Amino acid sequence: MSRFALTRRFEREAKEPLKAYLLEKQIARAKELLTSTRLSAAAIGRLAGFGTERSFQRAFKRATGMTPGEYRSTK
Residue 1 has pLDDT above 90, yes or no: no
- Here the CATH number for the domain that contains residue 53 is 1.10.10.60
Residue type, 43: A
Q: 14 — phi, psi (to 5°)?
A: -85, -15
Helix (H, G, I), strand (E, B) or coil at 64: helix
Number of domains in the chain: 1
pLDDT tens-digit readout, 32-62: 999 999 999 999 999 999 999 999 999 999 9
Enclosing domain of residue 8:
3-74
pLDDT tens-digit readout, 7-41: 999 999 999 999 999 999 999 999 999 999 999 99
